[in-house]
């Protein structure tokens, strides 16, 4: 997209762009906040603004309404928005190739397989949300119906393990950050990753098809800035990143940095589960597995998963 020139000989004006996270400014979105605070979007010719959303639904609504042009979300959530609600979205990059969701239980009464979920009462982050959908995907993988497992909303917090101890639930599904916190607290838990039964791209960047069609250079610039930020996170101490982004964003838990640093270290492993050569790229074979899991579960129907994503923009961004 050509820049707007103020006067002869002047540098082109920065192009405004707004991105929105699905859940505020938690440190897990550091790559997006650092792209802004670290000047990477500016270096790509963008005048950036990053908003903190209150749920994936709100973030998707903002994209469709034109209030934001990019968001990061679960690959499953974006697929559901496209195939079940006909949202005009397009996935332009994948950050987490591996799942950040774990099934957590007590080591004295472990849930080690999807078969073990039959007849259990499981905690989910929210009813009808991402974790409940993943629960259905895992049940579908072993031929079980959703009705065989009861559900209870317990949030995404280490505190949910107390419900397990009390016998209120048999286990729960939560983000890997919760498993890290439980490990640091010395809690007697077991966990397995949802990828064991329902592999698919975990955290993706999406825009609308209109933006992709009408502003392709904007998409490339956004991804170029994002890649530079990701490179920062790979080479710099995460405390340096936290110092930088906290000047522009209110990062929850920043006064107790040890868990945030531990989570950041673990998250990078999920970026490379499909190989370092596929950093930020959409891996067709992984999307195919996701479509198979979705169709098998009956959550919604995926006719052609290749319509959901493209590597056109990230490939160009990586070349330059």
Q: How far apart are CA 290 and CA 28, in angstroms?
A: 23
Residues 192 and 47 in one domain: no
Please name the residue that has the structure tokens 């749920």.
55
Which whole number is the average pLDDT over 141-149? 94
Residues 93 and 131 in one domain: no
Whether pLDDT at 36 is above 90: yes
Residue 128 is predicted with a pLDDT of 87
**Given 164, 196, 228, which residue is the final one in a domain?**
196
Residues 226 and 310 in one domain: yes
Alpha helices in 185-215 (DSSP H): 209-214
Residues 303 and 224 in one domain: yes
Which whole number is the average pLDDT over 293-310? 96
Residue 4 is predicted with a pLDDT of 38
Domain that holds residue 49: 15-98+201-319
Residues 178 and 208 in one domain: no
**Given 196, 221, 245, which residue is the final one in a domain?**
196
Tens of pLDDT, residue by residue over 260-292, are 999 999 999 999 999 999 999 999 999 999 999
Q: How far apart are CA 273 and CA 177, in angstroms?
A: 17
Answer whether 281's CB lies under 8 Å from 198's CB.
Answer: no
Residues 205 and 315 in one domain: yes
Total tally of structural domains belonging to the chain? 2
2 band by pLDDT with thresholds 50, 70 and 90: very low
Q: How far apart are CA 183 and CA 37, in angstroms?
A: 32
Domain at 74, CATH number: 3.40.190.10
**Given 153, 174, 196, which residue is the final one in a domain?**
196
Residues 90 and 205 in one domain: yes
Report the helix count and the strand count for the chain, using DSSP H and E: 13, 10
Residue 108 is predicted with a pLDDT of 98
| Threshold 0.95, pTM exceeds | no
Residues 181 and 88 in one domain: no
CA 157 to chain centre: 17
- What percent of the chain is predicted at pLDDT more than 90? 90
Residues 59 and 173 in one domain: no
Residues 70 and 214 in one domain: yes
> Which residues are CB-neighbours of 38 under 8 A, at least 6 positions away?
228, 229, 232, 241, 244
Residues 48 and 166 in one domain: no
Q: For residue 312, give the nearest of 217, 226, 225, 231 by alpha carbon.
A: 217
Neighbours of 310 (CB within 10 A): 17
100 to 7, 215, 223, 266, 287: CA distances (angstroms): 49, 31, 22, 10, 16
Residue 274 is predicted with a pLDDT of 96
Tens of pLDDT, residue by residue over 159-194, are 999 999 999 999 999 999 899 999 989 999 999 999
């Amino acid at each position: 997209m050509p820049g707007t020139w103020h006067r002869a000989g002047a540098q082109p004006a920065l192009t405004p762009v707004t991105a929105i996270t699905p859940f505020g400014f938690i440190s897990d979105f550091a790559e997006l906040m650092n792209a802004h605070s670290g000047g990477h979007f500016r270096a790509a010719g963008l005048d950036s603004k990053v908003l903190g959303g209150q749920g994936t639904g709100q973030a998707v609504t903002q994209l469709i309404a034109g209030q934001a042009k990019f968001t990061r979300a679960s690959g499953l959530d974006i697929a559901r928005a496209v195939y079940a609600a006909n949202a005009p979205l397009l996935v332009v990059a994948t950050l987490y190739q591996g799942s950040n969701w774990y099934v957590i239980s007590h080591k004295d009464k472990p849930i080690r397989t999807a078969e073990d979920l039959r007849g259990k009462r499981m905690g989910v982050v929210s009813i009808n949300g991402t974790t409940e959908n993943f629960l259905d995907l895992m049940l579908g993988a072993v031929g079980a119906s959703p009705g065989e497992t009861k559900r209870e909303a317990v949030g995404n917090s280490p505190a949910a393990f107390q419900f397990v101890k009390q016998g209120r639930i048999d286990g729960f599904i939560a983000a890997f950050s919760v498993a890290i916190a439980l490990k640091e607290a010395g809690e007697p838990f077991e966990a397995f990753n949802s990828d064991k039964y329902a592999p698919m791209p975990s955290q993706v960047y999406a825009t609308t098809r209109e933006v992709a069609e009408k502003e392709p250079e904007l998409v490339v610039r956004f991804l170029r800035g994002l890649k530079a930020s990701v490179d920062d996170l790979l080479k710099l101490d995460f405390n340096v990143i936290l110092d930088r982004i906290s000047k522009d964003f209110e990062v929850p838990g920043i006064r107790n940095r040890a868990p945030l640093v531990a989570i950041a270290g673990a998250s990078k492993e999920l970026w490379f589960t499909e190989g370092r050569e596929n950093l930020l790229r959409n891996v067709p074979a992984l999307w195919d597995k996701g479509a198979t899991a979705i169709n098998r579960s009956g959550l919604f129907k995926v006719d052609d998963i290749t319509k959901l994503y493209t590597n056109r923009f990230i490939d160009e961004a990586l070349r330059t």
